[in-house]
């Protein structure tokens, strides 16, 4: 207490500012997360879900539709704003097809919202990346947004599925990214559902990084942060953080999730004439998830239907056979007559 | 001389035993082949069920339903090529073995044969349809075939101004097919045994799926090849049966109408004995197991031909070698299995 009495007013102010800074730094940094959203803004017109994975799409000429994804900023998934990238902003945008070919595309801006759209022709995952670079002080800030957009129609068949579903990485162009690890039985119908354990890997220049913080934010802003292990992996269990009455439960309702990670590395260099000593990477991966299948499927009722049908059928057959049984009667024929 | 010896050896051999081995081989291929990265194709004329995680191929019925789930405009445009090529590859697969796909390759047919063996072990009497029931019930498979064509079309198109059918019908026949519920069990997968409460349609269809599974298991126990009688794949195959290179040919002038062929027929086709005018004796319910050829004691009355080459013929010697100990056939009594 004596210590506190001896502190001068100016020192109080300094300590207060220091404490406030410490508490605010993280949220302020978190607000800088940029991510791709499949959920259209409210004023978007003629948006229809496309394909098995319900990606937002718009109709084009000759009945061809294009997938459309918007750019958003912030970690409050319900309320983050759709953002506009100014024309003079230094950004890079990449879109890769499932066959690893770079698809000619540009990030477009209409009104106050930036988005990209493309004609989805190949079966498999299209990878979209946005890279934003900026030097502040002695640090180069690189912000990356990533999205894996799965295109599949059962009409196109299910050939070579295992080759198609595997994650594609572009470490020569994309310095930092989060990879969703595929499960062994994964096919083109895969959809993350609540209760699933999903493993993510944090990679810098294609190599896994230990001790990086990965944060998962779900639609209702439930969040969890985990440190990556030696292999750069973190496993998140998706929770169901929204509840409705049983009758209103819609298994087709897709909710957003956002996963982001940050890391600062001592890297000396020069960007656009500005020297820097550190590089701070922020990378995001956004996708959708659904309610767990167990919420709307019942094995118990299947068992009841099975047992009832079996009992009725077997009983019916035995009753039918029993009714057709004839009492043995010996008929003696008198051949003489 | 050597050629005659080979022919004699084949004609005297036990084809049913050979068939059992082939059936097991095909069962392993279609049910577990996927685990060994085998992919035969997606238009197979047999129940290689993609709902089974170990499946090495896809039954044509699911491909056809997906291809037909489209608008008229798309069906009669480039999208229609998918349907035509799918049907083309189905026919190419089919013409090689004709309806022997059912008797030798179908995993669901093999399961039914195993259930029949189980019945024999329990000494339970089997069931046969009377002639009238046989004629009436054999039309059911055509009803299923028409529905599995019309329902997917009705999901994307309006018939007679009526509203479109719910997309929850998806691939309607697959939802009620016992292949979807039974075959995954052999891979230890019970995930298809559920009632889906997502919507009224899914609830009804998934309940029907479980109901048909129970009927399949009970029916196959009491009636040999119970499900084959209602199988739309069998109906579809019969449409192309005449161009098949594997044929079952009858010489009516050599037939004595002893009835052995119809008595051993698992499906219970009586026409094979009654019809002495037709040369091509493959009926819509026939699965080309060739038990009839085995049981025919008249030389050359029944022949199996591949590209007009006789590969298996009925002979008196072969008949007595196979059935010499079986009084039910040699003394012309009704075989009670």
Q: Is residue A303 part of a domain?
A: no
The label of the residue with tokens 């081989």 reads B25
pLDDT band at B245 (very low <50, low <70, confident <90, very high): very high
Res. A304: pLDDT tops 70: yes
Sort out which chain B residues have CB atoms less than 8 A from A183's CB and list them.
none
Q: Which of A176, A195, A167, A178 is nearest to A286 (CA)?
A: A178
Q: Please tell me the predicted confidence (pLDDT) of residue A50.
A: 79
Res. A178: pLDDT tops 50: yes
Mean pLDDT over A317-333 rounds to: 85
Q: Would the CB atoms of A310 and B193 count as touching at under 8 Å?
A: no
Q: Please tell me the predicted confidence (pLDDT) of residue B333.
A: 47
The label of the residue with tokens 């496993």 reads A235
Res. A25: pLDDT tops 70: no
pLDDT band at A251 (very low <50, low <70, confident <90, very high): confident
Q: Would the CB atoms of A309 and B42 count as touching at under 8 Å?
A: no
pLDDT band at B164 (very low <50, low <70, confident <90, very high): confident
Q: Is residue A239 part of a domain?
A: yes
Local structure of A299: helix, strand or coil: helix
Q: Please tell me the predicted confidence (pLDDT) of residue B282.
A: 92
Q: Is residue A314 part of a domain?
A: no
Establish if B207 touches chain A: CB-CB under 8 angstroms.
yes
Mean pLDDT over B21-37 rounds to: 94
Q: Please tell me the predicted confidence (pLDDT) of residue B327.
A: 58
Res. A106: pLDDT tops 70: yes
Establish if B72 touches chain A: CB-CB under 8 angstroms.
no
**Cβ partners under 8 Å of residue B93, min gap 6:** B41, B43, B44, B45, B101
Q: Is residue A149 part of a domain?
A: yes
Res. A163: pLDDT tops 60: yes
Q: Please tell me the predicted confidence (pLDDT) of residue B95.
A: 93
Q: Please tell me the predicted confidence (pLDDT) of residue B328.
A: 60
pLDDT band at A5 (very low <50, low <70, confident <90, very high): low
Sort out which chain A residues have CB atoms less than 8 A from B62's CB and list them.
154
What are the distances in angstroms from CA A335 to CA A39, A332, B197, B252? 93, 9, 71, 39
B214/chain A closest Cα distance in angstroms: 6
Mean pLDDT over B10-15 rounds to: 90
Worst-scoring range by mean pLDDT, A5-19, A212-226, A254-268?
A: A5-19
| pLDDT tens digits for range B227-241 | 999 999 999 999 999
**Most A CBs within 10 Å, among B54, B64, B66, to test the A interface:** B66
Res. A29: pLDDT tops 60: no
ipTM of the complex as predicted: 0.89
pLDDT band at A2 (very low <50, low <70, confident <90, very high): low
Q: Is residue A21 part of a domain?
A: yes
The DSSP call for residue B163 is P
pLDDT band at A65 (very low <50, low <70, confident <90, very high): confident
What are the distances in angstroms from CA A30 to CA A74, A145, A259, A278, A332? 7, 13, 12, 19, 101
What are the distances in angstroms from CA A204 to CA A127, A157, A207, A280, A281? 17, 35, 5, 11, 9
> Residue A16 is part of which domain span?
2-295
Cα gap A91→B143, rounded to integer Å:
60
- How many independent structural domains does chain A possess? 1
Res. B27: pLDDT tops 90: yes
Mean pLDDT over B211-222 rounds to: 96
What percentage of residues in chain B have a pLDDT greater than 90? 67
Which of A134 and A313 is assigned the larger pLDDT? A313
Mean pLDDT over A32-52 rounds to: 83
Q: Please tell me the predicted confidence (pLDDT) of residue A30.
A: 41
Mean pLDDT over B104-129 rounds to: 94
Cα gap A1→A22, rounded to integer Å:
24
**Most A CBs within 10 Å, among B195, B208, B213, to test the A interface:** B195
The label of the residue with tokens 């937002």 reads A56
Q: Please tell me the predicted confidence (pLDDT) of residue B105.
A: 96
The label of the residue with tokens 């008196």 reads B316
Contact indicator for B316, B297 with CB cutoff of 8 Å: yes
For A4-32, the DSSP string reads HHH--HHHHHHHHHHHHHHHHHHHHHHTT
Which of A303 and B325 is assigned the larger pLDDT? A303
**Most A CBs within 10 Å, among B214, B215, B217, B222, to test the A interface:** B214
pLDDT band at B334 (very low <50, low <70, confident <90, very high): very low
Q: Strands A213-218 and A223-227: what pairing? A: antiparallel
Please, what are the domains in chain B?
17-237 (no CATH), 247-327 (3.30.70.20)
The label of the residue with tokens 């056809």 reads B64
> A162: left (phi > 0), else alpha (psi -120 to 50), else beta?
alpha
Task: Report pTM.
Answer: 0.77
Angle at A165 between CA A162 and CA A169, to 5 degrees: 120
């Amino acid at each position: 207490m004596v210590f506190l009495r001896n502190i001068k007013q100016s020192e109080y102010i300094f300590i207060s500012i220091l404490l406030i800074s410490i508490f605010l730094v993280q949220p302020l940094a978190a607000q800088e997360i940029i991510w791709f959203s499949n959920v259209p803004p409210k004023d978007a017109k003629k948006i229809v879900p496309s394909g098995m994975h319900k990606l937002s799409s718009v109709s084009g000429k000759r009945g061809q539709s294009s997938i459309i994804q918007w750019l958003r900023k912030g970690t409050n998934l319900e309320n983050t704003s759709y953002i506009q990238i100014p024309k003079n902003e230094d950004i890079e945008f990449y879109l890769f097809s499932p066959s690893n070919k770079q698809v000619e595309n540009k990030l477009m801006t209409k009104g106050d919202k930036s988005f990209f759209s493309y004609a989805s022709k190949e079966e498999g995952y299209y990878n979209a990346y946005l890279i934003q670079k900026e030097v502040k002080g002695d640090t180069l800030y690189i912000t990356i947004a990533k999205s894996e957009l799965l295109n599949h129609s059962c009409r196109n068949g299910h050939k070579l599925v295992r080759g198609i579903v595997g994650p594609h990485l572009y470490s020569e162009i994309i310095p930092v990214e989060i990879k969703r690890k595929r499960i062994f039985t994964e096919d083109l119908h895969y959809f993350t559902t609540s209760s699933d354990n999903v493993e993510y890997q944090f990679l810098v220049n294609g190599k896994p990084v230990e001790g990086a913080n990965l944060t998962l934010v779900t639609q209702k802003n439930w969040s969890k942060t985990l440190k990556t292990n030696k292999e750069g992996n973190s496993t998140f269990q998706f929770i169901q953080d929204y509840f409705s009455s049983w009758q209103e439960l819609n298994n087709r309702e897709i909710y957003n999730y956002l996963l982001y990670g940050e890391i600062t590395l001592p890297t000396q260099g020069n960007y656009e004439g500005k020297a820097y000593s550190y590089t701070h990477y922020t990378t995001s991966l956004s996708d959708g998830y659904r309610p767990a299948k167990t919420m709307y499927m019942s094995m118990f009722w299947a068992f009841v239907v099975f047992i009832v049908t079996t009992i009725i059928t077997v009983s019916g057959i035995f009753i039918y056979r029993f009714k057709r049984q004839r009492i043995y009667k010996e008929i003696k024929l008198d051949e003489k007559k | 001389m050597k050629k005659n010896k080979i022919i004699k050896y084949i004609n005297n051999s036990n084809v049913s035993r050979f068939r059992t081995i082939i059936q097991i081989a095909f069962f392993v291929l279609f049910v577990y082949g996927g685990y060994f990265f085998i992919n035969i194709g997606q238009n197979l004329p047999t129940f290689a069920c993609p709902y089974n995680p170990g499946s090495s191929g896809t039954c044509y019925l699911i491909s056809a339903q997906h291809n037909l789930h489209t608008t008229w405009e798309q069906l009669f445009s480039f999208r229609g090529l998918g349907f035509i090529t799918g049907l083309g590859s189905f026919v190419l697969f089919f013409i090689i073995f004709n309806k022997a796909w059912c008797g030798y390759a179908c995993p669901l047919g093999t399961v039914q044969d195993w259930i029949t063996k189980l019945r024999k072990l329990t000494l339970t009497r089997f069931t046969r349809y009377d002639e009238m029931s046989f004629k009436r019930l054999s039309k059911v498979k055509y009803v299923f075939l028409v529905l599995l064509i019309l329902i997917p079309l009705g999901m994307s198109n309006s018939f007679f101004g009526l509203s479109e059918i719910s997309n929850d019908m998806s691939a309607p026949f697959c939802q009620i097919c016992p292949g979807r519920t039974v075959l995954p069990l052999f891979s230890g997968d019970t995930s298809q045994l559920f009632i889906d409460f997502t919507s009224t349609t899914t609830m009804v269809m998934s309940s029907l799926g479980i109901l048909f599974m129970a009927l399949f298991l009970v029916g196959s126990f009491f009636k040999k090849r119970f499900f084959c009688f209602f199988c739309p794949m069998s109906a579809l195959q019969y449409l192309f049966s005449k161009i098949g290179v594997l044929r079952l040919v009858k010489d009516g002038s050599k037939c004595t109408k002893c009835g052995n062929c119809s008595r051993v027929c698992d499906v219970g086709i009586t026409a094979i004995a009654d019809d002495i005018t037709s040369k091509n004796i493959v009926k819509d319910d026939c699965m080309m197991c060739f038990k009839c050829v085995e049981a025919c004691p008249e030389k050359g009355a029944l022949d199996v031909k591949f590209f007009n080459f006789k590969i298996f013929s009925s002979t008196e010697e072969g008949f007595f070698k196979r059935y010499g100990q079986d009084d039910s056939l040699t003394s012309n009594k009704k075989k009670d299995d």
